Structure 1
Amino acid sequence: MQIGTSLFFDRTSAQMTNLSAQTSTLNTQIATGKKLTAPSQDVVAYNRLASIKQADADQSAYSSNISLAKSLLEQSDSTLTAVSTQLQRASELTIRANTGTLNDDDRKTIATELNSILDDLVSLANTSDARGQPLFGAATGTAAVTQAADGTVSLGGTGELPAIPVGDGTSVSATDSAERVFGNIKTKAGGKTDVFAILSSYITALDAGGDVSTASSDAIDGLGAAQTQVNNVQGSVGARAARLDIVSSQATDAATARESDRTGLEDTDLSAAITELQKQMTILSATQASFTKLSSLSLFTYLR
């Protein structure tokens, strides 16, 4: 088979151009640490990288939400512990006030302390969270509870605040409304009341003097129910915090897997790239040397 001079030059030139392009690409990959520099190099890999980057961006937002939710739940837990302590003290005072050996003045003294506990509970109910919003806020209303000039306490709103998204299709309720924590306490008559009304009513009975046995019985039952409700909410808070730990751990594992995928798709294997570069440069150098030698040959060289 005969190869014309023109074809020889064209093929050799194309080979050297291709080798030069490969060495240039390898140099770029080594210098940047990235083996993909354009979508055209590997469309499938570039699409996968785009998905990974979007997932990382989404997870960054979810991670911020997880941190916020954890903070709110931790604050709720500590605040509910303080509420539980106040309710326990109120129950102790109520039982003591029901003792037959106490007189009206003694009970008024207890009423004063119970009134202080009531104020403390109002303050705890209106605790602000890390965002400056009511920790026990509701879907409607701003302040968790309001206290009128005459001491009457009212819940500020109804309904629970929306859950916080912490993952694809996963949300966690980071707060509880004042209604859930302090309200909806069943009465003997079948109705519902709140802890503030229970304490206010009992304080009024103690201040009035006389037989407080019925009022004490009602207050003891009401405060016991309130204590149980707060404990249940606090247990729910703990369960949600544990769930967040699981979600956070799963997100970390997923991020690690994505990073491994990204590295395999995008990052340059420096050892392999340097070895390949040396190989291509050797071939290019040999091709250039051969081309120089062969292109200088002519018929006269053989006739001399």
Structure 2
Amino acid sequence: MRISTMTMYNQSNTSMNRQQTEFLKISQQIASGKRIVNISDDPQAMTQAINIQQSKAVSGQYDQARIGVRNALSQEESVLNSVSDVYSRAKELLIQASSDTMSDADRASIASELEGAYQSLLGLANTRDGNGRYLFAGYQDDSPAFAAGADGAVQYVGNDQVRQQKIDGDRLVDVGHIGADIFDRVHSSANYLADAPLTNQGTLEFGNIAITDVDAAGFGDAFDIEFADNGGAMQYRVNGGAWEDYTDPMTVSLAGVAIELKGQPAAGDSLRVARGAENNTNIFRTFEKAMAVLDAPATDASSKATRANTLRTVMREFDNGLDNVLTTRAEVGASLNELDALDAIAGNRELAYEQALSQLVDLDYVEAASQYSVRMVGLQAAQKAFVDMKGMSLFNFL
């Protein structure tokens, strides 16, 4: 069998090219740090790696979503902290105004300071986030959450749905609260309030409201107390019941709730006792009532009693409002804790993704270095063989 010079040349050239290709491949792997440079290197492993990378990308999107939610909740918590300070200061001012040593001019000054707190609270209720969206307006976040109505009273004008965000595979959370839940509502278990109409003509004042028996029949129901002059004797009745003699002072009890009364009511006067959630729950209305009664001079015993009753009511309304804010802050804190927990879980999941991805595509540098040396020797040998083959010709012996 004869082997031509051309055949030997082609074989040597093919061997050298193959060795050079293998050498370049291991060089690319070392340079990139990846075992799989092209999908053809290991199609199955590369498919698995692509699936893992997609899962990582989704996890990264949830990470960004949690950052956005955390920023919004942190801002809300800061605003609610300021709201608590406003409520506390307003309560201090009302306690001062309740003192009999205060003059009408002093109370008018307190009303002016309450006006400043009122405007500050309105600004907090209409806070915007970093994107210019109103924080407490729900989905209608391009307009203020609170605005003055036709009667001049501030009311909630935002949307009743809380914005939501998906922060993990199956976890959808509320991004904060709507303003109505914070400034226009209280919990159903809020403290009892008494409400005496401004039309009362007597000097009747109410004091402490105490819960005496939570198991009493009808506990939690509102009740009305009416006063009338029956045969020259001042009497009262509860919820349209039998008339009883009124004495100053006295305590009236019904359905496990007792209220202290003092002063002399006039015929036709009345009083209503109900849970806080059944009375005024708009904190701006509370401010407005307080400012109105402090700005109006009390010229007689009846107007002084009306002022005292109104101040007691608004102070209890502030207490209920503050309790509601603190409850809301607790909910915000719980949501922030959940975000921290999800971040920790996501961190562990990210580490698992990285480990799985590394096992699939990352390069074993020890093995690669060994292969690099082998391929280099093979390439050099192929190149030397090619050079030597070129000198193998019969013409060199003629």
TM-score, normalised via structure 2 length: 0.64
Matched, 1:233 2:303: no
Q: How far 1:159 sits from its partner (Å)?
A: 2.1
Of 125-134 and 139-148, the range deviating more from structure 2: 139-148
Q: Is the 8 A contact 2:138 2:163 kept in 1?
A: no
Q: Which residue number in structure 1 is paired with residue 313 of structure 2?
A: 218
The SS at the match of 1:246 is helix
Q: How far 1:63 sits from its partner (Å)?
A: 2.4
Structural mapping, 1:23-102, within 5 Å: 23-102=23-102
Q: How far 1:163 sits from its partner (Å)?
A: 1.8
| Cα separation, 1, equivalents of 2:56 and 2:313 | 56
Identity of aligned pairs, percent?
A: 26
| Cα separation, 1, equivalents of 2:114 and 2:282 | 15
Q: Which residue number in structure 1 is paired with residue 124 of structure 2?
A: 124
Please tell me the residue identity of whatever aligns with 1:196: F
Deviations 1:138-182 (A, max 9, x none): 234631111358752111224232222222222332321111111
Q: Which residue number in structure 2 is paired with residue 299 of structure 1?
A: none
- Report which of the two structures shows the higher radius of gyration computed on alpha carbons: 2
Q: How far 1:283 sits from its partner (Å)?
A: 5.3
The SS at the match of 2:138 is coil
Q: How far 1:34 sits from its partner (Å)?
A: 2.2
Deviations 1:209-233 (A, max 9, x none): 3321211121011110000000111
CA RMSD of aligned residues (A): 3.2
Deviations 1:187-222 (A, max 9, x none): 637245211011112222222333212111210111
TM-score, normalised via structure 1 length: 0.82
Q: Is the 8 A contact 1:107 1:207 kept in 2?
A: yes
Structural mapping, 1:160-199, within 5 Å: 160-185=161-186, 188=274, 190-191=278-279, 193-199=281-287
Q: Which residue number in structure 1 is paired with residue 147 of structure 2?
A: 146
Please tell me the residue identity of whatever aligns with 1:50: I
Q: How far 1:102 sits from its partner (Å)?
A: 2.6
More strand by percentage: 2
Q: Which residue number in structure 1 is paired with residue 288 of structure 2?
A: 200
Of 18-27 and 30-39, the range deviating more from structure 2: 18-27
| Cα separation, 2, equivalents of 1:63 and 1:34 | 27
Please tell me the residue identity of whatever aligns with 1:225: N
| Cα separation, 1, equivalents of 2:151 and 2:316 | 25
Aligned pair in 2 of structure 1 residues 182, 173: CA closer, same or farther (>3 Å)?
same
Please tell me the residue identity of whatever aligns with 1:156: V
| Cα separation, 1, equivalents of 2:376 and 2:120 | 80
Aligned pair in 2 of structure 1 residues 155, 90: CA closer, same or farther (>3 Å)?
same
| Cα separation, 1, equivalents of 2:168 and 2:333 | 19
Q: Is the 8 A contact 1:138 1:156 kept in 2?
A: no
Structure 2 stretches lacking a partner, 5+ long: 194-273, 393-398
Aligned pair in 2 of structure 1 residues 59, 237: CA closer, same or farther (>3 Å)?
same
Length, aligned pairs only? 294
